[in-house]
Amino acid sequence: MSNVEFVTDTAMFCVFDLASLRHRIDDDCDWWSVPDEELIELNAGNVAFIGLGEDGKYSLDLSESPDDVDCTLNLKCPSGRIFLGAGEEVTGEGLEPEAIRGGTFLTVVPGNYRLLITRKSERAIAVRLQATEGSGDNQFACPIRI
């Protein structure tokens, strides 16, 4: 596919369909920094929040097949318009992502997807989306960190 970069000051990478988080549009901009709120949306399949451990600039490889997958989760994509980028751009406070910190938007066929994530190096992440017939829900007990 392609490579893009993004910059985060919250050490957070996120992936979500814009329609999946529209119900959060009027929440505080950092609603997702509360672990219980993060888990609610993650387990509902509305967003993938991936803790990176450090702020900074990251390279994102939108890969056909990442090696040695570190994390797999389900993601609901009702509109087919997906944002991949910094956690700071998550829907909230009347705003939706604009990729102002880098990142990208993808257009996919609406449906449920399996998201495979690989930490390729300290500053590089590979991501793959696979269509799935599953429910789109997840069952994580704690936030995801790679």
Domain ranges of the chain: 2-135
Q: Determine the Cα–Cα distance for residues 49 and 83; give it in Å rounded to an integer.
A: 12
- Please give the CATH architecture assigned to the domain spanning 2-135: Sandwich (2.60)
Taking 70 as the threshold, does the pLDDT of residue 79 lie above it?
A: yes
Confidence of residue 92 (pLDDT cuts 50, 70, 90): very high
pTM of the model: 0.94
What is the per-residue pLDDT across 43-67, written as a single tens digit (0 to 9) for each? 999 999 999 999 999 999 987 666 6
